[in-house]
Amino acid sequence: MNLTADTDGFYMEAHPKLRPVDTTTGGVFLAGAAEGPKDIKDSVTQASAAASRANILMSRGQVKVPAITAKIDPDKCSACGLCARVCPYHAIEGGKEQGFFRVIEAACQGCGACVPECRFEAIDQTHFTEEQIVGQIDTALAHDPHSKILAFACNWCSYAGADFAGVSRIQYPHNVRIIRTMCSARVSPRWIEKAFLQGAGAVLVSGCHPADCHYNNANQNTARRVEKFWKRMEKLGLNRDRLRLAWVSAAEGAQFARVIQEMEQGLQSLSGKEIQRAAEKIRKSLDKKSEGT
Report the pLDDT averaged over residues 54-67. 86
pLDDT at 18 over 90: no
Q: What is the DSSP letter of 288?
A: H
213: left (phi over 0), alpha (psi -120 to 50) or beta: beta
| Rounded to 5°, angle at Cα 180 from 255 and 139 | 110
Distance (Å, whole) CA 55 – CA 48: 10
Q: Could you count the other beta carbons within 10 Å of the beta carbon of residue 66? A: 14
Residues in the chain: 293
Max mean pLDDT range (38-42, 208-212, 268-272): 38-42
H runs (alpha helix) in the chain? 40-60, 82-86, 130-140, 158-167, 189-197, 219-236, 253-268, 272-292
The verdict on domain 65-126 having CATH code 3.30.70.20 is yes
Query: Which is more confident, 58 or 16?
Result: 58
CB 131 within 8 A of CB 142: no
- Average the pLDDT over each of 15-24, 105-114, 257-266 and give the range with the smallest value: 15-24
Whether the per-residue pLDDT at 29 is higher than 80: the answer is yes
- The residue ranges of every structural domain in the chain are 1-63, 65-126, 130-292
Residue 266 predicted with pLDDT over 90 = yes
Q: Mean per-residue pLDDT for 274-287?
A: 94
Reported as a single tens digit per residue, the pLDDT across 172-194 is 999 999 999 999 999 999 999 99
Give the pairing of strands 123-125 and 70-72: antiparallel
Task: Please give the average per-residue pLDDT across 236-241, as a whole number.
Answer: 95
For residue 276, the SS3 value is: helix
Distance of alpha carbon 281 from alpha carbon 221, whole angstroms: 26
CA distances (Å), 206 to each of 139, 160, 177, 209, in order? 20, 11, 13, 9
Looking at residue 25, what is its pLDDT? Answer: 81
Residue 107 has a pLDDT of 87
Compute the half-sphere exposure of residue 284: CA atoms within 13 Å on the CB side of its CA. Answer: 9
pLDDT attached to residue 293: 58
Give the Å distances, CA to CA, from 39 to 1, 128, 265: 26, 44, 51
The predicted model gives 119-127 an average pLDDT of 95
Give the pLDDT band (50/70/90) at residue 15. Answer: confident
Q: How far apart are CA 33 and CA 94, in angstroms?
A: 37
Q: Return phi, psi of residue 29, to 5°.
A: -125, 160
What was the pLDDT predicted at 64?
A: 78
- Cα–Cα distance list, 290 to 73, 170, 252, 272 (Å): 22, 45, 41, 27
Verdict on whether the full-model pTM lies above 0.85: yes
Q: What is the mean pLDDT of the chain?
A: 93
Mean per-residue pLDDT for 114-121?
95
Confidence of residue 61 (pLDDT cuts 50, 70, 90): confident
Domain spanning 130-292 has what CATH number?
A: 3.40.50
Give me the percent of the chain exceeding a pLDDT of 90: 80
